[in-house]
């Protein structure tokens, strides 16, 4: 879900979750059942449009770059309908709240829990074992309607943010909605109660209260998007104002709000003006769907465009007429799609994620069409046999019945997820035991030794046991990511990038080594620890997440984070220069663009100049420096690929030409021209002459899409050690 692109997560739409509010006048051409149910054609059409936007965006993200704004449309719809209901029959006691929540349980949980159970089972059958744990954790959080907070935490975790999207990630919006439903009726009850205590008219008092909440949430959304944009996308407080906007429209226009009696729910304007307002709302939604991209700060104030567009359509409540959009919104296919939009939303994403696992390749056009067809069929069946069945009054009597059934159903889902986690824990334990046994044996052709051996000395491993096994390899990151007794890892993280470090080795060591850079320096920490243990050295880290040790401004994600990254680099240079180190080991990945450059390729000259400034500072301090050339980066999650291709690991291999990135630090070392500074290139111990294996010498090379596993990094120690010793003596 990379984090800063929409949806790093995968932006998903929030489905409709409430029964429509009755209206008095009806379209004469609408079916009798729909007229009796009081379904508003325009709101059903909004639902259909929103779910279509999300579906097209997920299948063809480059064709409808702003399709993720469908989430905002659904938030407005849900806020309007729920608030209309609450203001028509205001809650006055706990029993009213329990009745309200009971209806929400019957409306939402049966379909959503069904999808979670089926998805958990399908993932166990078809997904690689490396993602079972992540899926199970998110299924558990989704069943408890808290997965948005889990995704928010993962979005700012550099390693977790690199994970592939899970088939339940789209439940984040449902979590936001449920949390809103938990608080919103209590807020309205309190506002009405305070108004009565103060002897004020409830209607204007409630309206002002809702406006205050909307304003506070919008302000927080703008702030949080500027400070922590990845997290802001998922957390509930940044989204409440969108649902609240629908609530404000309901407070202003709902026919039965707090004793109000009106003929319809439209703005008090002539019908032509209302039609024009509705068309304007639809036009705004279309523009946001086409023009918006994942690079736009979101939600923030930019979400106001689709929010106000949806609010305009709802407020217009366009009536039938020659110029009215009602002639299109009332079409039966549109209305049917609005009816099944909740279930369609629930099913489309699991199909989209799991089908490639079943097929063994990325989705082609025919596969995407199959996803649409399958999702529509499942949506129809779920709507008819699950949604509609549990919405009948019989399932709501007595009032405690839905709570008991919901608790039991949620317990089943949580237990299934926990069972999956238990299986993963067992497999991980077995894999660790196998690895420990392997490490005590011969290492002649183990890991990097297989590539260092003369041609034909070590057989190519295409299948069989790997050490660690893929399920363990996905967690085999550098020790620098391990949380120590201090409660902090070895990294400087955004937003402030404080200078932090870890030290390995005795304080009495005669040689002190500083390891500096970003996460591609951190991957060498296990290697340096092995060298330090052998040579009785001490290693101290100065590592940042994403931020390269180069004196330039990098596009981390916000201007404040960019500036903090550069400040961190300057402070680290100062600490290293005055730290009494005998050797500096430096390695970096160009993971983000330089400020002012439009692409990574255009950023390379700026990075080279930034590295030069750092190296010149080290040179002025007479420090010896080893710049370890950046390692090949496959991009794809290698443990997942190995787990999915157990019969032929070479299916996960790549080429040196495509995997080996440009490293401007190499040119920077040459440009500085200090004989105490040298480049060490270990690419030949990671790649062959033309091919870079995903697993070498029975060891997975990467624990994600670019970082070496801890085990493979340790096997490189015998080859890095003499080069470091030579640098000290040179």
Q: What is the mean pLDDT of residues 139-145?
A: 96
Write down the mean pLDDT value for the chain.
89
Q: Determine the pLDDT at residue 161.
A: 61
Q: Determine the pLDDT at residue 160.
A: 61
Report the alpha-carbon distance of residue 644 to residue 128 in Å, rounded: 5
Taking CA atoms, 128 is separated from 40, 285, 354, in Å, by 45, 39, 10
Q: Does residue 537 surpass a pLDDT of 90?
A: yes
Report the DSSP beta bridge partners of residue 491. Answer: 543
Q: Determine the pLDDT at residue 262.
A: 74
Residues in the chain: 730
What does the pLDDT look like over 502-520, one tens digit per residue?
Answer: 999 988 899 999 999 999 9
Q: Determine the pLDDT at residue 457.
A: 84
Q: Determine the pLDDT at residue 38.
A: 59
**Exposed, middle or buried: residue 125 (CB in 10 Å: 0-12, 13-18, 19+)?**
exposed
- What pLDDT band is residue 453 in, cutting at 50, 70 and 90? confident
Q: Does residue 329 surpass a pLDDT of 70?
A: yes
Q: What is the mean pLDDT of residues 695-723?
A: 95
What does the pLDDT look like over 427-443, one tens digit per residue?
Answer: 988 888 888 888 776 67
Q: Does residue 567 surpass a pLDDT of 90?
A: yes
What ranges do the domains of the chain cover?
32-419, 476-633+659-693+707-729
Contacts of 580 (CB under 8 A, 6+ apart): 512
Report the alpha-carbon distance of residue 624 to residue 610 in Å, rounded: 19
More confident site: 260 or 281 = 281
Contacts of 599 (CB under 8 A, 6+ apart): 593
CATH code of the domain occupying 476-633+659-693+707-729: 3.40.50.1110
Torsion 50-55-58-59 (CA) sign? negative
What counts of helices (H) and strands (E) characterise the chain?
A: 29, 11
What does the pLDDT look like over 246-256, one tens digit per residue?
Answer: 999 999 998 77
Q: Does residue 120 surpass a pLDDT of 80?
A: yes
Report the alpha-carbon distance of residue 641 to residue 360 in Å, rounded: 10
Report the alpha-carbon distance of residue 636 to residue 650 in Å, rounded: 14
What does the pLDDT look like over 258-277, one tens digit per residue?
Answer: 777 777 788 889 999 999 99
Report the alpha-carbon distance of residue 627 to residue 638 in Å, rounded: 26
Place of tokens 């930019």: 302
Q: Determine the pLDDT at residue 5.
A: 36
Do residues 80 and 266 touch, judged by C-beta distance below 8 A? no
């Amino acid at each position: 879900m990379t984090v800063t692109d929409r949806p790093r997560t995968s932006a998903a739409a929030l489905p409709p979750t409430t029964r429509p509010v009755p209206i008095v006048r009806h379209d004469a051409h609408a079916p009798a059942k729909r007229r009796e149910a009081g379904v508003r054609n325009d709101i059903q059409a909004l639902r259909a449009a929103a779910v279509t936007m999300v579906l097209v965006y997920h299948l063809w993200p480059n064709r409808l770059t702003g399709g993720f704004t469908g989430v905002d449309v659904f938030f407005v719809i849900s806020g309007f309908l729920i608030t209309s209901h609450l203001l028509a029959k205001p809650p006055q006691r706990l029993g009213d709240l329990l009745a309200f929540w009971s209806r929400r349980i019957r409306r939402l949980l049966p379909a959503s829990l069904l999808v979670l159970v089926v998805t958990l089972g399908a993932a166990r059958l078809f997904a690689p074992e490396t993602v079972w744990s992540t899926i199970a954790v998110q299924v558990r959080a989704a069943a408890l309607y808290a997965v948005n907070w889990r995704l928010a935490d993962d979005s700012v975790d550099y390693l977790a943010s690199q994970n592939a999207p899970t088939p339940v990630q789209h439940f984040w919006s449902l979590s936001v909605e449920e949390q809103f439903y938990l608080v919103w009726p209590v807020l309205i009850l309190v506002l009405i109660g305070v108004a009565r205590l103060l002897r004020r008219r409830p209607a204007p008092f409630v309206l002002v209260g809702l406006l205050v909440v909307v304003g506070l949430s919008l302000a927080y959304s703008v702030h949080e998007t500027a400070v922590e944009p990845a997290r802001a996308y998922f957390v509930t407080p940044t989204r409440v104002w969108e649902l609240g906007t629908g609530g404000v429209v309901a407070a202003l226009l709902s026919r039965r709000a707090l004793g109000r009696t009106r003929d319809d729910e439209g703005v008090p304007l002539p019908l032509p003006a209302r039609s024009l307002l509705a068309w304007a709302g639809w036009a705004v939604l279309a523009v946001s769907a086409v023009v918006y991209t994942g690079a736009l700060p979101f939600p923030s104030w930019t979400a106001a465009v689709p929010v106000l567009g949806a609010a305009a359509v709802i407020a217009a409540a366009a009536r039938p007429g020659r110029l009215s959009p009602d002639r299109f919104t009332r079409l039966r296919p549109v209305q049917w799609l609005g009816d099944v939009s909740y279930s369609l939303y629930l099913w489309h994403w699991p199909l989209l994620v799991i089908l490639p696992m079943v097929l063994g390749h990325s989705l082609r056009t025919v596969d995407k069409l199959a996803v649409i067809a399958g999702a529509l069929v499942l949506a129809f069946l779920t709507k008819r046999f699950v949604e509609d069945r549990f919405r009948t009054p019989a399932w709501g009597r007595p009032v405690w019945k839905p709570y008991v059934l919901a608790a039991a159903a949620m317990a089943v889902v949580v237990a299934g997820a926990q069972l999956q986690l238990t299986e993963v824990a067992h497999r991980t334990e077995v894999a660790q035991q196998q690895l420990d046994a392997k490490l005590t044996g011969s290492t002649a052709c183990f890991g990097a030794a297989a590539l260092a051996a003369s041609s034909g000395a070590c057989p190519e491993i295409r299948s069989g046991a790997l050490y660690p096994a893929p399920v363990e390899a996905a967690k085999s990151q550098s020790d620098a990511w391990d949380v120590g007794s201090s409660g902090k890892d070895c990294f400087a993280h955004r937003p402030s990038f404080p200078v932090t470090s870890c030290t390995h080795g005795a304080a009495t060591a005669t040689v002190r080594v500083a390891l500096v850079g970003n996460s591609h320096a951190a991957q060498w920490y296990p290697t340096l620890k092995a060298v330090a243990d052998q040579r009785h050295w001490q290693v101290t880290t100065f590592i940042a997440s994403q931020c390269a040790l180069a004196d330039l401004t990098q596009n981390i994600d916000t201007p404040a984070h960019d500036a903090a990254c550069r400040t961190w680099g300057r402070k680290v240079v100062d600490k290293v220069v005055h730290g009494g180190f005998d050797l500096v080991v430096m390695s970096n990945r160009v993971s983000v663009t330089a400020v002012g450059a439009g692409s990574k390729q255009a950023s390379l000259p700026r990075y080279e100049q930034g590295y030069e400034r750092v190296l010149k500072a080290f040179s002025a301090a007479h420090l010896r420096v080893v710049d370890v050339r950046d390692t090949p980066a496959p991009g794809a999650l290698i443990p997942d690929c190995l787990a999915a291709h157990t019969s032929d690991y070479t299916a996960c291999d790549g080429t040196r030409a495509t995997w080996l990135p440009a490293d401007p630090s190499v040119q920077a070392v040459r440009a500085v021209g200090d004989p105490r500074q040298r480049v060490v290139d270990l690419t030949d111990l990671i790649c062959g002459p033309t091919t870079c294996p995903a697993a070498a010498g029975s060891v997975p090379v990467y624990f994600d899409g670019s970082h070496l596993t801890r085990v493979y990094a340790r096997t490189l120690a015998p080859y890095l050690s003499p080069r470091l010793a030579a640098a000290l003596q040179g």
